[in-house]
Chains A and B, each alone.
Chain A
Amino acid sequence: MWAAPRCGAAQRLGLHGEGRVLGLTAYASRRLLSLVPTLLGVTLLVFLIVRLIPGDPAQLMAGDDAPPAAVESIREAYGLDRPLPEQYLLYLGRLVRGDLGKSLRSGKPVWDEVWSRYPHTLTLALFGVSITVLVGFPLGIYAAAHRGSWGDNLVMVASTTGISMPVFWAGLLLQLLFAFRLDWLPSSGSGSFAHIILPGITVGLFSVASVARQVRAAMVEVLLQDYIRTARAKGLSLSEERYRHALKNALLPTLTVVSLQFGFLMGGAVLTETVFAYPGLGRYLVQSILQRDYPAVQSCILLIACTYSLINLATDLLYGAIDPRIKYS
């Protein structure tokens, strides 16, 4: 904590450093605490999902062709004949111990299956987000700076088209062109950097379009505001004003899109992963649903939902730290 300037204006605005940092810590603690009921809510929802599916939960967990003895042992192990609240507590207990059940498909513990896919999802998410930032942000700035020109119109048309394209179709087209026709890049699987390129571009595409639009809008809005006119009157050159003042304000919407995208991708870019047979969490979830592998489905949803909540929380805190206009109520 740095020494706060106790001048009148700063105090009136409530923006002096010390107060803000204190406010941020309190806010962060409150938000972290509120995470607990959210996560508990998620576990409750996931717990209920299997029991909402029509049919005998024990049979569902054991698998369609399991012998009655196996079904009974599952019933015992998971306490499925005991009252619901007791079952929930048992479930929580298992979760805390890291026991996510056994996959019906492979027989392996679900935890292993999920853990082996997590790094792939993370890599793809990071790559997608990098593309969004590295391509979308400059495009938006360019469009805003050359408002009304051919370049601007082109960027806008391209980005409107981009957000209308179905992700799986874009991925398929990319796959068709670069993997099958030109044979430049591998079309599926994983294992090398080359394998991430096409899926990464696919997941980044939508967000690039989204970011470009929002950055442009934010910058244009700022460029026309009064304080820019003041800066101009003070004699700052056009490029200085453009980059310093407007840029900062374009950062916030970019942050929104990027964090939304990251959260979504960490949840598993289901469609893209399916197109490229990429071994990530999203694809695992869908496969498990199609194969009625309920322990896996439950755990996937749980993991995805928790990851998502955590990322949302981190985003909120990041906002609070970055935007000086946000006060903590």
Chain B
Amino acid sequence: MAGFLIVAPIVLTAALAPWVAPRDPLTMELSDVLAGPSASAWFGTDNLGRDLFSRVVHGARLSLLSSAAAVALGLILGVPVGLLSAYWGGWVDLSLMRVVDVLLSFPTILVAIVVVSILGTGVVNAVLAIGIACIPLYGRLTRSAALSVLPLEFVTAARALGQRDGAIMLRHILPGCVTPIVVQSTVHMATALLTIAGLSFLGLGAQPPSPEWGALVSASRQYVRAAPHLAIFPGLAIMLSVLGLNLLGDGLNDMLNPRLKKL
């Protein structure tokens, strides 16, 4: 599980950021501006003399937490939608899925941009925006999973025994949906991370001096000719995290889904 090997150190670094980072990410050292990588500053320094390595490390916290929060939001709101839709069927199902399909037909980043244009910029709003964009994804996913669980006999038995609808949904159907939700969540987290970085890059997400990775890349553009390391390292961090999450999702999929081996 190569994915796990990549993601774990990143998560650890993010969690232990204050101890791993050699210097405070916000301290400016104006004597040492735009320096390349060196022994004292592993990733170099930025235009205000801040240590890039420390900023990237602190940025890991921000990026990972926000993408996790966005996915969690989509999950919490989207899974019930899918469950209800599958369970009740009929016109509830039809109308909900209609709305979901329309929302799903637009790329995540555009939906997020629209939401941000209403709510305003900033990390919290960006997280909300992406969470909202994830809701239809989870709705569809849960609905498909629930639909495959519904016809099974223990559901009919539960109904015959008089169990209430809500209890049936929570205790019988939901556990059957967990596998695809978990697998997809890692992939969604990867997408959320990319989208948050993208929003911050555009100036719609994390604002300076926040060391979010996308914002770091955006800030580096002015100085990219003189100090390319400012752009390279944060972007590399993003790429590695996303790659790790994608591989993790693949690995989880292989592990949790007993199917034909991938070709």
Interface of A with B (CB < 8 Å)? 38, 41, 49, 52-53, 147, 160-161, 163-169, 172-173, 175-176, 180, 217, 220-221, 224, 264, 267, 270-271, 274-275, 285-286, 289-290, 297, 301, 304-305, 308-309, 312
Contacts and interface: CB of A to CB of B under 8 A. Distances in A.
B202 A169 contact: no
A41 B102 contact: yes
A297 B117 contact: yes
A297 B118 CA distance: 10
Contacts of B194: 166-167
A308 B106 contact: yes
Interface band, chain B: 35 or more
B235 A169 contact: yes
Interface of B: 102, 105-107, 109-110, 113-114, 116-118, 121, 190, 194, 197-198, 201-204, 214, 217-218, 220-221, 224-225, 228, 231-232, 235, 238-239, 242-243, 246-247, 263
A297 B119 CA distance: 13
Contacts, number: 102
A155 to B, nearest CB: 14
Nearest to A45: B114
Contacts of A270: 109-110, 113, 198, 202
Contacts of A309: 105
The 6 A-B residue pairs whose C-beta atoms are closest, nearest first, are: A169-B235, A164-B243, A164-B242, A289-B117, A220-B263, A168-B201
Contacts of A301: 114, 117
A271 B232 CA distance: 17
A166 B239 contact: yes
Given A161-B239, A285-B113, A286-B202, A180 B224 contact: yes
Contacts of A160: 243, 246-247
Contacts of B110: 267, 270, 304, 308
Contacts of B239: 161, 164-166, 169
